[in-house]
Amino acid sequence: MLFLLSGIPGMAAESPSDALTGGVATYVVARGDTLFSIAARQGVDVETLAADNGLDRRRTLTVGQRLTVDNRHIIATDAAAVDIVVNLPQRMLFFNRGTAGLPVAVGRRTWPTPTGDFRVVTRETDPTWDVPASIRAEARRQGRSLPSSVPPGPTNPLGRFWIGLTGGAIGLHGTNAPSSIYGAVTHGCMRLHPDDIARLFSEVQIGMTVRTVYEPLLLADIGGRVFLEVHPDVYRRAPISLAAVRATAALRGLTDRIDWTRAARAVELQHGIARDVEQLSLSTARRPRRPSPLAPQTAVMRAPARDTHD
């Protein structure tokens, strides 16, 4: 179970079980791949992907090059209590009672995605984008011009699918810019890769519940090991600190199991991936060795056919 400490915003709370999505695998670089496009598709910050592979983020990749991709994420609060949960600083959407996770793009700092509870009220295939007056005004201030509406097609930023939520201001949708996924770049909506929104759209029904939460720090006991996931406080609502991690660990009785040097490093780097912070001496001496959900897998990921919207 995950906990939210009163007075410590942004700590994960009350999940029905501690669990991870994603894994560690080898990715084989395909033609046209960049660190940015791979990171966006896999739900990893480009800085983290570069650091995990000892690369400069600006480096040109070569076809056939192998990269280690670690995209493990702790499932956010209430993932089994509602149909869909989006953790905004984590930029992850969880559905099917938390058994599936998808990377998303969320609202930028100056145009944040709201937190709260919503319901699905519309489902549209090949939607027309009726451009809000506020977005058109922003474009004019930047010396650009936007039409009042954009018809379906490759230039439509909503992509092929739209899932509208109560309130009328935001929704879940696809994109014609897949490399923008896993960023805080939108005008408040939550956008998904074209393949992922197609999968989600096929499972979503009118009336389903959607919750958006704000948890940049997540701590979990998974498979007998302690994991810590730290994201930047993109909306400046929950200052990142080791003290917040210590408080939650104390509440859960995990303090003596954590390697605090590794935990401090995770807080400092804010890599946004679930990192194993269990004390190594405890992991080998206190309990029978289980297959670790964090151990590198033998699976090799290869890029799918290039998306025509990119």
- Domain locations in the chain as residue ranges: 1-77+215-229+251-310, 105-111+120-209
The mean per-residue pLDDT over the stretch 27-33 comes to 96
Q: How many CA atoms lie within 13 A of 28 on its CB side?
A: 8
**Contact between 266 and 272 (Cβ < 8 Å):** no
CA distance 202 to 25: 27
User: What is the DSSP code (8-state) at residue 105?
Assistant: B
pLDDT class of 284 with cuts at 50, 70, 90: low
Tens of pLDDT, residues 84-112: 999 999 999 999 887 889 999 999 999 99
pTM of the model: 0.86
Structure tokens at 201: 């759209």
Tens of pLDDT, residues 199-240: 999 999 999 999 999 999 999 999 899 999 999 999 999 889
- The CATH H-level superfamily of 105-111+120-209 is L,D-transpeptidase catalytic domain-like (2.40.440.10)
The amino acid occupying position 188 is: G
Is the confidence at residue 24, as pLDDT, over 50? yes
CA distance 33 to 43: 15
How buried is 142 (Cβ within 10 angstroms: 0-12 exposed, 13-18 middle, 19+ buried)? exposed
Tell me how many degrees the CA angle 173-147-166 measures, rounded to the nearest 5.
35
Q: For residue 74, what pLDDT is reported? A: 95
From 44-53, 186-195, 280-289, the region with the lowest mean pLDDT? 280-289
**Contact between 198 and 256 (Cβ < 8 Å):** no
For 130, the 3-state DSSP assignment is strand
User: In the block, which residue shows the tokens 């006991």?
Assistant: 221
Q: Are strands 217-222 and 100-103 parallel, antiparallel or unpaired?
A: unpaired
Give buried/exposed letters for 222-261 (b at 16+ CB in 10 A, else e).
Answer: bebbbbbbbbebbbeebebebebbebbbeebebeebbbee
Q: Which tops the pLDDT comparison, 18 or 25?
A: 25
Tens of pLDDT, residues 69-84: 999 999 987 788 899 9
Q: Mean pLDDT in the chain?
A: 86
CA distance 73 to 69: 12
Share of the chain above pLDDT 90, in %: 74
CA distance 306 to 28: 14
Is the confidence at residue 162, as pLDDT, over 60? yes
